[in-house]
Structure formats: structure tokens, C-alpha cells
Amino acid sequence: MNVAGSLYGGVELGGTKCVCILGTGPDDVREQAVVATGRDPVDTLARIETILHRWVGQHGPIDALGIASFGPIDLVRLSPTYGSIRATAKPGWRGTDIASRFAHSCGVPVGCDTDVNAAAIAEGRWGAARELADYAYVTVGTGVGVGLIVDGRPLQGFSHPECGHIRVARMAQDSWPGSCPFHRDCVEGLASGGAIAARAGRAPETLSDDDAVWEYAADALAQLLHTLMLTAAPRRILVGGGVATARPGLLPLIRRRLTRSLGDYLDLDELVGAIDAYVCAPGLGGRAGPLGALALAVDAADR
């Protein structure tokens, strides 16, 4: 819960860029800055720390810091590597200690989670999932990830879910090998921004809405949603991330392919209502990630 006079910092560490934010929530953002996610994590994190320290000098001390990071990341609190990046497709970042570095440099409590879990938490607090205890947030951007909220908390077992690396059936005519360095044709290897660019030979934003690559991406993402619905049964699925936000036509393609994939097995109207309201865009739009970092800071201050 926000306390009058409190101030929080947040960092969304993404595969392409890092967004630093200062404030208390969506209606009170004092500062925001972007840093490119370079190959050298020491340099990238140092530039972020410089921004945070400058803001503290201008606005006063923060009560806590939230770190929403690309993964995989160690989230087991008793682990000696808690808050560190694990195996990742991002060159140079494997083994990078995130949480304890910022706790030491900022001297405040630090909340750490995956970027997609943080975005999901923000949507539950301030966005399109405010009334729900069970929902999923799917991000389609540099990678593909899922924040899966069950009974009001992000799902956590021996690790956080990595649903973007689920293997899916290929479209019959599709022989492209996929781009994931670990699994080739998992969902991320077929539907992420990097996968779309690799298949098409150019950036996703330069492609027309009727380019065949979108059907391939939508098919893989629909199978991911199919899997989520039949395992966790979320009451709503939000689809965000840079690629999805920039290409509004992708969401209708996913809905159509999902409905076709499920067939008559589930009575969608009875269970979740209209498909357009069930599979929908995030309420916070592109702000969900940075605001998720703020939400983690608020929770860290309350612990």
C-alpha cells in the first residue's frame, strides 16, 4: 500500500532496452528514462545506477526499488544466486547479479521478479485485471514470456514459468527451423520479434499486415494460449509487448486461430465470455512493464 510521502524507483530490464522510472503509480510518474541493453551488463547497470542516483539527488530518497528483469532469473529467495540472470539468449548477461547489486548501490529494499510477472502484477493492481485473482499476461516482444497469476500471486515452483519456450506443432507448410538458440521452433523461436525479423529478413515494423509471417506467429501464439487455458485456466489473457502493441492486427489473428484450435472442447461463452474480452490488450498498454517495476518496489517496501 502506498504511504503518503513515499517514493519508489523501478527498472525494467528488457532484452533491447531498460526503462528506469520514478514515482508511485500510473498517475504519479515523476521521471522516466531509457538505456539501451548493451552486451556489457556492467556498463549497462552502471548507467542505470547513475540515473537513479541523479533522481534521488533531485527528488529525495526512495523507499524501495523494483527490478523487473528479462529471464530466466533466480527467484528463490534462499538461493545464493537470488536475483541473478540464469541461462539467457542475451549475449554476455548469463550469471549477472541484479538484485544484490542494486540493493548495495541504492541502500533500499529491492523487489525482484521477471519483467512479464511484474507487468502482470501491474495489470492486476492498476490495469485490465484489477478484479481478477487468476489471469495471464503474455508479452510478445524481443522474446515471448508469460506472467501467470494464480490466486493473486505469480506462479512459482522450482523456477518461474518459461512458457515462451513451450514446443508447439508446426503449420503443415512451415519448414523454417525457428530462431531460438536453445529450442529452435518453440513459441519464442517462431513468434518473437527476433523470430519474425529472422524469418522475414527485415524488421517487423516494416512488414505489411497481410504478410504471411503474421499467420505463422499467430498460430504459435494461439497454441501457447490454448496450453495456458487447458492447464492454468486463467480468467483473462492479456497480450502485450512491443510487437503486439505495434501490430494491432495480430490479436484478431490469435483469437481466430485459438478458437479454431480449441474447437468445441470448451464452451467459451459460458466459461469466459466473449473471446474479444477474454483475449485482450493490456489496460496499461506499453506502460505495463515500467509500472510493473514500480509495483515490485511498493511490495518490497511493504514487506
Read off the amino acid at residue 88: T
Q: Which pLDDT band holds residue 69 (cuts at 50, 70, 90)?
A: very high
What was the pLDDT predicted at 225?
Answer: 98
Region 124-144 average pLDDT: 95
What was the pLDDT predicted at 89?
Answer: 76
What was the pLDDT predicted at 5?
Answer: 79
What was the pLDDT predicted at 205?
Answer: 94
- Give per-residue pLDDT as tens, 83-96: 999 988 788 899 99
pLDDT value at 4 more than 80: no
Q: Which pLDDT band holds residue 303 (cuts at 50, 70, 90)?
A: confident
pLDDT value at 164 more than 60: yes
Q: Which pLDDT band holds residue 71 (cuts at 50, 70, 90)?
A: confident
Region 54-83 average pLDDT: 94
- Give per-residue pLDDT as tens, 249-300: 999 999 999 999 999 898 888 998 899 999 999 999 999 999 999 999 999 9
What is 8-118+286-302's CATH number? 3.30.420.40
Residue ranges covered by each domain of the chain: 8-118+286-302, 128-282
State the pairing for strand pair 144-150/135-140: antiparallel
Region 40-55 average pLDDT: 97
Bridge partners, 180 (sequence order): 184
pTM of the predicted model, to two decimals? 0.93
Neighbours of 34 (CB within 10 A): 14
What is the rounded CA–CA span in Å between residue 83 and residue 215? 37
Read off the amino acid at residue 227: T
What was the pLDDT predicted at 2?
Answer: 55
Q: Which CATH superfamily is domain 128-282 in?
A: ATPase, nucleotide binding domain (3.30.420.40)
What is the rounded CA–CA span in Å between residue 51 and residue 153? 31
Least Cα distance to 28 among 120, 124, 126 occurs for 126
Q: Please indicate whether the domains covering 8-118+286-302 and 128-282 agree at the CATH topology level.
A: yes
What is the rounded CA–CA span in Å between residue 62 and residue 81? 25
